[in-house]
A = this chain, B = another copy of it.
């Protein structure tokens, strides 16, 4: 028996940002626009969003302070802004960080509670409606209920999701993705691949999430290198964007696993891009799970262009990482041998990501995976 539920109304393609006015007017009259510090302004997306909101009669206030790996403190400040401004709607604009922050702000603004309450086990009674406008193809946050935040005091980075944190509607606008520089394209693109891979091998996988996951991986293999080599290749950009959204749908039901569990402490403590952390950990991770799900690994090998045998998945993944110059290790990201114990302790606490892993992992396994990943593959 399995369950499937995903109520997000999704608009995908070139120019979907233009839908924001009509959709916003359906859900509110005063929007808090949540975005990062500069890139959406620089490419004109923020200004265009404000225009279409105004044309639709929706008043807007901009909260443009979301950092990469957003913190509890940022979310609480954003929620206060929404309450002060009597906003009845939250719009996330950008990559995973502003989109995740928007979901959390909507919940905190409606309940008046600090976000730490929910990460400590509290249940939200309500949330403002959220629209998301995706400008990177990585997170898939536009298509799922999850948000990942960092506790700025402990540096713990953690995922969270609830029936109330689904966006009401999302716009995946591939035109906005043209602006991603190559390194960001590679890191976010690998995040997509690992969303697909983890949802596929997850113990929470269903026939539907597997379908999404396999197609997402296939599309990454087909398009990532081309999008990395030439950011103006809109066919490749579109393929990657669709892969990202599909992978978001895959993890919404199938969840992520230990690989995300291993990465979160890395970007939580070091503020490195999430996708780069995943890449550095991925070969050791794949080798670790291989004996537990050989048939699925064989399929992954085949998707990666290798002969369909489980052990070939490693070589296939190595080639994918190399194709976008992401085959470095954790040491290059600043992780040292001395940090391994602390990282492993944090990773061991992400029980939900351990539960879904196809192979149980002890604290010793986790430490070994970090050590093995210090040097690149």
Residues on the B chain within 8 Å of A6, using CB: 6
Q: Is the CB of B10 within 8 A of A7?
A: no
- Copies in the assembly, this chain: 2
Closest to A5 in B: B9
A1 within 8 A of B: yes
User: Is B7 touching A12 in the complex (CB atoms < 8 A)?
Assistant: no
Q: Quick check: which of A13-21, A121-129, A338-346, A366-374 contacts chain B, the rest being far away?
A: A13-21
Rounded to whole angstroms, the CA-CA distance of A242 and B208 in the bound complex is: 9
Whether A13 pairs with B2 at a CB distance below 8 angstroms is yes
Q: Which residues of B contact A206 (CB under 8 A)?
A: 12
A215 within 8 A of B: yes
Residues of B within 8 A of A56 (CB): none
Residue in contact with A1 in the complex, picked from B1, B2, B11, B211, CB distance below 8 Å: B11
Given A207-B242, A211-B211, A242-B207, A9 contacting B13 (CB threshold 8 A): no
Over the window 201-232 of chain A, the binary record of Cβ atoms lying under 8 Å from chain B Cβ atoms (1 yes, 0 no) is 00000111001100100000000000000000
A246 to B208, CA, bound (A): 9
Interchain nearest-CB distance for A207 vs B (Å): 6
Cross-interface CB contact of A5 among B3, B10, B15, B208, cutoff 8 Å:
B10
- Asked if A42 lies at the interface with its beta carbon under 8 angstroms from chain B, I say no
CA–CA, A12 to B12, complex, Å? 28
Q: Which of A1-56 contact B (CB under 8 A)?
A: 1-16
* Contact A15:B3 (CB < 8 A) given known A215-B211, A242-B207: no
